[in-house]
């Protein structure tokens, strides 16, 4: 495109009187008056809700409503300081966590078998259906209840996304949500490295790094 033509296109665009951006049916943004916080708010509204693909796909197998998803998004930001855990949680919510299914699909692995049980791997298999995972999760919950003198009996939704209901025991709930987030990350990273998921290793990882004390906002 010649310089004169570009100039003409730019003039047309920037001198147009239409400064209104039709974001959706309910919202029109005046581009002349909008400040960065308005754009940020749009971004938050657009990203932090249950209407996205990841939560929608989770909702096909779990019973989590929009209100609970909003809480899950909100608590994720406060739950921990560690970038890799936040990143993992983000990927987990959006169902973009890599398992052998994806590695096989992209030709990185020669099969899609779960390295623990040999069944077809997937996100659902890794975190919900695998008998090895299920047994490990039960051990972690028993260890948690013994260690913190609690009686939490979580639903599958709470195991996967933390406890969202209001409770007087906010401190213990925060610990539970943090520990179970770390547990999912532990399962994921162990599997990718072909290492077994062992309770003692898990407890050591938690304790060595003083994860609870340093990372949970009570
Ligand atoms: Zn398995």
CA of 132 to the centre of ligand 1 (A): 6
Once rounded to an integer, what is the mean pLDDT over residues 83-97?
91
CA of 124 to the centre of ligand 1 (A): 10
CA of 133 to the centre of ligand 1 (A): 7
SS3 call for 141: helix
Share of the chain above pLDDT 70, in %: 72
CA of 114 to the centre of ligand 1 (A): 5
Contact status, residue 127 vs residue 160, Cβ threshold 8 Å: yes
Contact status, residue 49 vs residue 70, Cβ threshold 8 Å: yes
pLDDT tens sequence across 171-198: 899 999 999 999 999 999 999 999 999 9
In this prediction, residue 167 carries a pLDDT of: 74
Output 22 or 142, whichever has higher pLDDT.
142
Tell me the domain boundaries of the chain: 1-34, 36-217
């Amino acid at each position: 495109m010649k310089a004169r033509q570009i100039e003409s296109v730019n003039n047309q665009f920037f001198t147009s009187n239409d400064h209104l951006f039709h974001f959706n049916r309910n919202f029109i943004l005046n581009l002349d008056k909008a400040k960065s916080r308005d754009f940020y708010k749009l971004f938050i509204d657009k990203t932090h809700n249950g209407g996205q693909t990841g939560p929608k796909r989770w909702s096909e197998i779990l019973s989590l409503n929009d209100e609970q998803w909003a809480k899950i998004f909100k608590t994720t930001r406060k739950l921990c300081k560690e970038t890799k855990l936040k990143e993992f949680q983000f990927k987990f919510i959006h169902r973009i966590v890599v398992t052998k299914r994806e590695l096989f699909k992209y030709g990185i692995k020669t099969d899609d078998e779960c390295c623990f049980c040999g069944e077809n791997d997937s996100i659902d298999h890794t975190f919900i259906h695998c008998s090895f995972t299920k047994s490990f999760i039960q051990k972690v919950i028993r260890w948690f209840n013994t260690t913190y003198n609690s009686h939490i009996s979580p639903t599958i939704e709470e195991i996967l996304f933390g406890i969202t209901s209001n409770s007087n025991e906010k401190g213990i709930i925060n610990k539970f949500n943090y520990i179970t987030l770390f547990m999912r990350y532990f399962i994921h990273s162990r599997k990718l490295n072909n290492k077994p998921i062992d309770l003692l290793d898990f407890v050591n990882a938690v304790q060595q790094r003083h994860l609870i004390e340093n990372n949970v906002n009570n």
